Amino acid sequence: MNKYDNAEKKASKSERQEQHKAELEPIQDFHAEPNMTVSRFIDKVRHVGFQSVHLGKAVDIIKRMKQDNAKIFLTFTSNMGSSGMRGLFAQLFSLRFVDIAITTVGAIEEDIIKTKEKFYVGSFDANDLELRKQGINRIGNIFVKDTSYVKFEEIIQELLEDIYQEKKKLTPSQLVYEIGKRLQDESSFVYQAAKNNIPIYCPAITDGSLGYQLMLFKDKHPDFELDVIDDFKKLILESSPREKKGVIILGGGVAKHHALIANLINEGMDYAVYITTAREYSGSLSGATTREALSWGKLRSENAVTVIGEASILFPLIMTKVLNDLGFV
């Protein structure tokens, strides 16, 4: 190597360093303002550092999904349905902001319960033995009465009987659609999904109270069938390698994995936003980041971000900003 080669390498390294410096954004101090809107708050906080930067990236990526006419998958765990996030999901479905939803059975059960019953703010520190005596079930700091689940059993058996008169063999997503058609509650995400033809997939349909009710119903009607495999095929056929696809994942588990595995078969997602409290260091699927998904081909681009935090705080902030910026609200 001669001195000219060395000089050229030094010049190239210097150019790369200067380019890197030009791309860096300075950290900005946050200051509260009178009557600050959510949009203004996120515009300011995204330069503070740490997870606030990822919060801003999540907004940008979801906006890009929509502007790029990507098919958008939304996945969430059952605790999101237990909370008041139910209303935000219903709103997103009514606006047709997302195209496909995947969740676990608890979210569907509790959406149905809330058409007739109320859930209550409780405490993480409640005495659980005392709650058991009072007939109260605790979901974190959300309290649900035993009587609400008794009501659910009555509602779901009536719905199943009505659906059975028309169809004896369904997939889980078809069952959820048929239930949604019959709920007539604008605040229900199951109702709004059915009304707006947004499929809700529930791979683990038996993993909850609904599963037990389905078992009891099948005991009375042996010819009643739910075809989970046919639903999985339908989920895979929801998208293709040729079209743009994006995913918003709240939490992890089976809902997250079904969205990713279905699109791995279709050459991966183009956009992804994960919001989770799980961490990657245990090797769990729930904690796996968007970076890890690249190694599997579940994502095919770096238009992705993992935001570490609790979705009941972060997702409403993100979507308020997105919906305002894109003119949906």
Q: Give the residue numbers marked as catalytic.
A: 298
Residue 191, number of CB atoms within 10 A of its CB: 23
Residue with tokens 């245990």: 282
Residues in the chain, total: 329
